[in-house]
Structure 1
Amino acid sequence: MGNLEARRLDDSEHDEFTSVFGAAFLEDSEADLARLRPIVPHVTPLGVFDDAEMVGCGGHYSTYMSLPGARSCPVAGVTLVGVKPGHRRRGVLTALMRAQLDGLRDADVPLAALYASEGAIYGRFGYGMASFENHLSLPGRVAFRGDVEVDERPVREIDLDEALPAIYAQHARAAANRPGWIGRDSAWRARERMRQARAGRAPYRCALHDGGHAIYRVSPDWTERGPDYRMEVVSLVADDPASYAALCRHLLDFDLVSEVTWRKAAIDEPVVRMLVDPRAAAQRVVDGVWLRLVDVEAALTSRDYLADVDVVLEVRDAFCPWNEGRWRLRTRASAVERTSEPAQLALDVADLAAAYLGGSTLHQLAAAGRVRELEPGALTAASRALAGDRAPSCPDAF
């Protein structure tokens, strides 16, 4: 391996970027590359070069993320990360992560987020498992409890692009109170077009209600017993419980559909608690968004807290040493500052990221040996403060 250089790419290098990513994920047919190319202009692309050859790639979307306390802040949605076959385990990904995180720090972006293709990769770069996804499956026409209020306003089937103004507005309203949600814009629509274009995938459909919307697709099938259609919910956004119930009933009540699946449901998805028989919902929890605190001070001052706490954190950060050291968090004063006072809790930056949205509590991480309490009482106080009212989730892939 020669000397690796990681740098930002110009427009003339976008096709090579696409080819490297396609090769990394074994999706390098012309059809695959045609599907990927429209995405690249929406990201800040980086390439890693071994002399003149691009051997790694990655990029990020500039968007925002909702945080506990109805707050939000800029986040880099890291995506399209790949290493060319034949060049793995030679420092390419490390060079890419180094260049990207340095660039985000220079641009004053406090958070970076990604979905991990493999769960063991990104912890060494300071990313923590910050949310979980619920792979939810419901039988068609499953019954709701009698006390569930269903909004009687109509749900209309509408072309997705025609519905975009309403989708953006409804999503922005709902996202304010859903930690982990990211913004929707033209880049989001380009990503959804890319996923729609995968070979053999059914087209997206959109159900629009005055109080929300659902995006879904249906795979038809017939057996000797009759129709056996399967529906996949891509996302469901609602202003209030009654609108949410109306959209759920619209999806569940199609006569031909035997099963409705939702791979990016939240682990506290309300529909489960609306059912007469909660066991009718099959649920499997997997990791969701992985989060990186690019700037610990800026990140901790960007969110609200459920309880007052004054605690000194000893933060380890081997990959971004500017975060390393002791930080005093005072939630009542909305202050985070470096300090020489004795530490009360010690943890890695990846574990602070895991607790940042409320997806894991510091108590849970301490039980796994990942957080050390250095002063009695500090763990409970800090864990309560960092917790959230709702489980973080992210309905959008990136």
Structure 2
Amino acid sequence: MEIRQIKDNEKALVQDLRDYSFTSVYKGEKLEDFQYWLENSHVLGGFIEGELAGQVFIFPLNMTLRNQNHAMGGIGFVATDPIFRNRGVMKQLMIASLVQMRENKQVISVLAPYSVSFYRYFGWELFNDILHFEIQEKQFPQTARNQDVVKRMSFQKVDSTILKEVQEFHNRYAEKTEGCMKRTSAWWSRIIKRQLDGHIAVFYESNRVAGYIRYDIRDLCFTIHDYYSENYSVEEAIWRYVFSHASSIDKVRGVVSIEQRFMLSFAEPQIKQQRKQETMLRIVDVYAFFTQLTLPKDISFYIQVLDTFAPWNEGVFHIHKGSVEKVIIKPPTRILTISIQHLASLVAGYETIEQLLYRQCVQVDGEIISEINQLFPKSNCFFNEYF
């Protein structure tokens, strides 16, 4: 088997394998978008006897984690030709993707798993709960009249000024929100091309953007795909806007951060809700990741990382006086021993050290638990992107 980057004259093979492996064939705007990312991502192929047996895209993305925006490799369009199944194609591609992301200085990686257990094996772990909700017509609240400042933009007719304002707001929001991704113009182009019947409603306070929703209306359903607000008054304005469509819809669906409690303001707050885990995180380069963090100067302990598929992560790291150092000798005390996937869960704040200890996922000296919690307090990431 040969694992390498796809050549220009092989890109049609990548598109054919994607179309065969997934449920739809890309045409029109979606095909144009796919071809853009085929050109601008790092695409690895696995070849057997000269034939493309499998492929992995590495998107050049980013994500905010522990108050720092990091370069992130988004894994997408993972596919193996059924002819070559059970020959280790995807295993070799996943290992190669880790090497490539490290070379790209992408210190973390995110993917949407078709199988959680498969990607856990390679070091990714769930880190992000999101809330899917549905509000039936009989639950629509009565909203007070108010002179909200709202602008609407259709993706069929993009207003460049509004889109720029939304992009700038989103990126300011993403810089201070755990798990959030700053969106480039190319990523907004991708969103628009994949949702041509979509709209954006933008909410203003004091002549500046203070929130927005991205949505579409189909089959009497108002579906919210993005929901971002910087304060409660904007949330109220959002729901006044949504329910102003009551005469033409019979339900509202959407996805929001698990921390959102907008329904508590409704007279009937017991709407349908479902908590889902749809994305997984991996630390690609432990040392590089820690050097990018602002580490407390009053903590000192060791982390022994176990990582089968990224040998550069194997070893002991000393967190000490605001810095990190990889050491040769394993100390007898003040040490946390943790696998790479559980480190991702801990770093993201998805699980605390106490929860991991309870599930027997780590070994840790009790005297450093408070310092670990100081470094990685409980948090709720919100990652709402699709590759």
TM-score category, normalised to shorter length: 0.7 to 0.9
C-alpha separation in 2, matches of 1:291 and 1:308:
28
Correspondent of 1:338 among 323, 326, 330: 326
Q: Give the partner amino acid of 2:104.
A: A
1:44-93 CA-to-partner distances (Å, cap 9, x unmatched) read 21111112100111112212211223x21111111111111222232111
C-alpha displacement at 1:116, in angstroms? 1.0
Q: 1:48 — aligned with what?
A: 46
1:284 aligns with 2:279: no
C-alpha separation in 1, matches of 2:8 and 2:218:
38
* TM-score, length of structure 2 as denominator length: 0.87
Structure 1 unaligned regions, length at least 5: 198-202, 221-228
1:7-56 CA-to-partner distances (Å, cap 9, x unmatched) read 11133322211111222224347678677444422322111111210011
1:243-265 CA-to-partner distances (Å, cap 9, x unmatched) read 233123312342122221113x2
C-alpha RMSD of the superposition = 2.6
Q: Give the partner amino acid of 2:174.
A: A
SS at match of 1:82: strand
Q: 1:226 — aligned with what?
A: none
Q: Which moved more, 1:206-215 or 1:378-387?
A: 378-387
Q: 2:129 — aligned with what?
A: 132
Q: How does 1:347-366 map to 2 (within 5 A)?
A: 347-366=338-357
C-alpha separation in 2, matches of 1:16 and 1:108:
28
Q: Describe the shift of the 1:384–1:218 C-alpha distance in structure 2 as closer, same or farther (beyond 3 A).
A: same
* TM-score, length of structure 1 as denominator length: 0.85
Q: How does 1:7-46 map to 2 (within 5 A)?
A: 7-28=4-25, 36-46=34-44
Structure 2 unaligned regions, length at least 5: 205-209
Q: 2:236 — aligned with what?
A: 245
C-alpha separation in 2, matches of 1:29 and 1:177:
35
Kept in 1, the 8 Å contact 2:129–2:276? The answer is yes
- Matched residue count: 372
Q: Which moved more, 1:241-250 or 1:286-295?
A: 241-250
Q: How does 1:120-269 map to 2 (within 5 A)?
A: 120-140=117-137, 142-143=140-141, 152-160=147-155, 161-162=158-159, 163-196=162-195, 203-210=197-204, 211-220=210-219, 229-255=220-246, 256-263=248-255, 265-269=256-260
Q: 2:381 — aligned with what?
A: 392
Q: Describe the shift of the 1:166–1:309 C-alpha distance in structure 2 as closer, same or farther (beyond 3 A).
A: same
C-alpha displacement at 1:268, in angstroms? 0.8
Q: 1:81 — aligned with what?
A: 78
Kept in 2, the 8 Å contact 1:128–1:291? The answer is yes
1:327 aligns with 2:317: yes
C-alpha displacement at 1:215, in angstroms? 0.7
C-alpha displacement at 1:207, in angstroms? 0.9
C-alpha displacement at 1:277, in angstroms? 4.0
C-alpha separation in 2, matches of 1:323 and 1:217:
44
Q: Describe the shift of the 1:172–1:312 C-alpha distance in structure 2 as closer, same or farther (beyond 3 A).
A: same
C-alpha displacement at 1:124, in angstroms? 1.2
- Identical residues among aligned pairs (%): 22
C-alpha separation in 2, matches of 1:64 and 1:84:
30
Q: Describe the shift of the 1:104–1:234 C-alpha distance in structure 2 as closer, same or farther (beyond 3 A).
A: same
Q: Describe the shift of the 1:89–1:73 C-alpha distance in structure 2 as closer, same or farther (beyond 3 A).
A: same
Kept in 2, the 8 Å contact 1:301–1:334? The answer is no
